[in-house]
Amino acid sequence: MSDETLQQRLTELEVRLTFVDDTVNALASADAELSVRLAMLEDVIRGLRSELSSLRSSQGHDPHSEPPPPHY
């Protein structure tokens, strides 16, 4: 292999590595953002569950005291 061919291949590998590195960084950033959003959504769900539970208890609604649906 000539030095020129070897240099071209090395340059091509460096370019590819740069693109791979950029892609990995973008994916890591997206993953971090999604983790934050997921944590926020989990907090919202916890709050909604708590609110629903307090609404049910304030109305005297106990789901365990309801009769089973007709198909049981």
* pLDDT tens per residue, range 14-39: 999 999 999 999 999 999 999 999 99
Q: What digits encode the pLDDT tens for the residues 27-70?
A: 999 999 999 999 999 999 999 999 998 888 888 766 677 778 88
Quote the tokens at residue 60.
């005297």
Predicted pLDDT of residue 72 = 64
pTM for the whole structure: 0.62
Coil, strand or helix at 43: helix
For 62: left if phi > 0, alpha if psi spans -120 to 50, otherwise beta; the answer is beta
With CA atoms as reference, report the closest residue to 27 among 35, 37, 17, 39. Answer: 35
Find out whether 56 and 63 touch, Cβ atoms under 8 Å: yes
Q: Are 25 and 18 in contact (CB under 8 A)?
A: no
